[in-house]
Amino acid sequence: MTKLIIQIPCYNEEESLGVTLAALPRQLVGVDIIEWLIINDGSQDRTVEVAKEYGVDHIVNFPTNQGLAKAFMAGLEASLKAGADIIVNTDADNQYCADDIPYLIQPIIWDQAEIVVGERPIWQTKHFSRSKKLLQKLGSWVVRIASNTNIPDAPSGFRAFSREAAIQLNVFNAYTYTLETIIQAGQKGMAITSVPIRTNNVLRPSRLVRSTPTYVLRSLFTILRIFLLYKPLRFFLMLGSIPFSFGVISGIRWLFFFFSGYEKTRVPTLILATILILVGFQLWLLGLIADLMAANRRIMEEIQVRMRKQDFQKKEEFHNE
């Protein structure tokens, strides 16, 4: 039997949650059981009461606001514990068209992908400014480079995960999970794809993108941080090559003047060349140390995945008995 759980992170969503839940399906072709789960991220309004009125099956409660990334991960954990084979994540503001969920989960049902991201019609979305559309495309391009994937709409929160993919994911960033999970999937070799989806009319302004420049800077920081986690040696080799190259060029320049018989000793040039070469070597050494730490982290992640699988397997055996 295939079980689908649709999870929704919520923070003060009293006004929009009912509209979102009313559009969610309870039956789909290829799925035997559909359940709904909300993550109440410290809401101070009637979010939980609305969820109960609409028959939500599972509610995860945070006493205080923890942020979207932690709410997302708590939802994945709760969905796995509830026996989900497929997990769909959507937003509480009804931004994404629930009728497209069958298309979203289809690649997972057909074993074509482990993660599926909904691609919004960015250029046709009227409430997106031109600058935001350009930044969305630019950000998605950067994520594609960092992750070696081909996801055209990286910030989209409308996505589906197989059970195996959900078990392997870890989100370190406290701001958002969207970019980090794609980069993780690419670096871990998960099969990830995207499908075109539709969007609904805006019910409220985005709480994640309060300021476009701030969102861009935080997104770039997230990409950089994940790149450091998964490709530290490559990053520090590239970074160290910059001062090292300038140092070598300065050193060659000094040698040229020295052997050409110029009277000036040009000691400052020699000192600068030495400093730049040493800085480059130090950055390379940092890369080697970081790479060793990354190898240790990968081992720890493999142990974590095995422990999660054993835990969920024991719970399934207990329920079957």
Cα–Cα distance for residue pair 182/210, rounded to 1 Å: 23
Residue whose token pair is 């400014």: 129
Neighbour-count burial of 76, counting CB atoms closer than 10 A to its CB (0-12 exposed, 13-18 middle, 19+ buried): buried
Backbone phi and psi for residue 262, each to the nearest 5 degrees, phi listed first: -70, 145
pLDDT at 28: 93
How does pLDDT run along the chain (321 residues), one tens digit per residue? 899 999 999 999 999 999 999 999 999 998 999 999 999 999 999 999 999 999 999 999 999 998 888 999 999 999 998 989 999 999 998 989 999 999 999 999 999 999 999 998 766 666 566 666 676 677 777 777 777 888 888 888 999 999 999 998 888 777 778 888 888 888 888 999 999 999 888 766 666 656 667 767 777 777 777 777 777 888 899 999 999 999 999 888 888 877 776 756 677 888 889 999 999 999 999 999 988 887 787 777 778 777 777 776 666 665 555
Length of the chain: 321
H/E element, 69? helix 68-81
What is the pTM assigned to this prediction?
A: 0.79
pLDDT at 241: 94
Residue 199 to residues 96, 136, 150, 177, 320, Cα–Cα distance (Å) = 5, 16, 21, 20, 40
Domain layout of the chain by residue ranges: 3-228, 232-320
Contacts of 298 (CB under 8 A, 6+ apart): none
Cα–Cα distance for residue pair 233/294, rounded to 1 Å: 9
pLDDT at 116: 96
Topology adopted by domain 3-228: Spore Coat Polysaccharide Biosynthesis Protein SpsA; Chain A (3.90.550)
The two three-digit tokens of residue 54, written as one number: 């609409």
pLDDT at 23: 94
pLDDT at 1: 82
Cα–Cα distance for residue pair 249/84, rounded to 1 Å: 59
Residue 202 to residues 95, 227, 250, Cα–Cα distance (Å) = 6, 33, 57
CB 149 within 8 A of CB 195: no
pLDDT at 257: 78
